[in-house]
């Protein structure tokens, strides 16, 4: 499991951006008991990272 801050570091974005992505359904978060903090499965983060990279690549291809 990864913490919110760890995911933010991976994506090089502020933690608030990761929270917004969770609210928008772009990445799945879980609640860690008993703290209730958001945690993330490695595979969910990997899929979100891949999705983001593919979207950026496709956007660059369609620009030119």
* Residue-wise pLDDT tens digits, 1-56: 999 999 999 999 999 999 999 999 999 999 877 787 899 999 999 999 999 999 99
pTM of the model: 0.83
What's the length of the chain?
Answer: 64
Candidates 30, 21, 14, 12; CA nearest to 48 is 21
Which CATH number is 12's domain given?
Answer: 1.10.1660.10
pLDDT band at residue 64, thresholds of 50, 70 and 90?
low
Domain, as residue range, for 9: 2-63
Q: What is the number of structural domains in the chain?
A: 1
Candidates 60, 2, 56, 59; CA nearest to 22 is 2
DSSP 8-state class, residue 35? T
Residue 48's CB is within 10 A of a number of other CB atoms, namely 19
């Amino acid at each position: 499991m990864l913490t919110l801050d760890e995911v933010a570091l991976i994506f090089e974005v502020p933690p608030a951006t990761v929270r917004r992505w969770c609210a928008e359904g772009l990445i799945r978060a879980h609640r860690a008991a008993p703290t209730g903090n958001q945690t993330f499965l490695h595979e969910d983060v990997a899929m979100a990272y891949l999705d983001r990279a593919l979207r950026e690549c496709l956007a660059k291809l369609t620009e030119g």
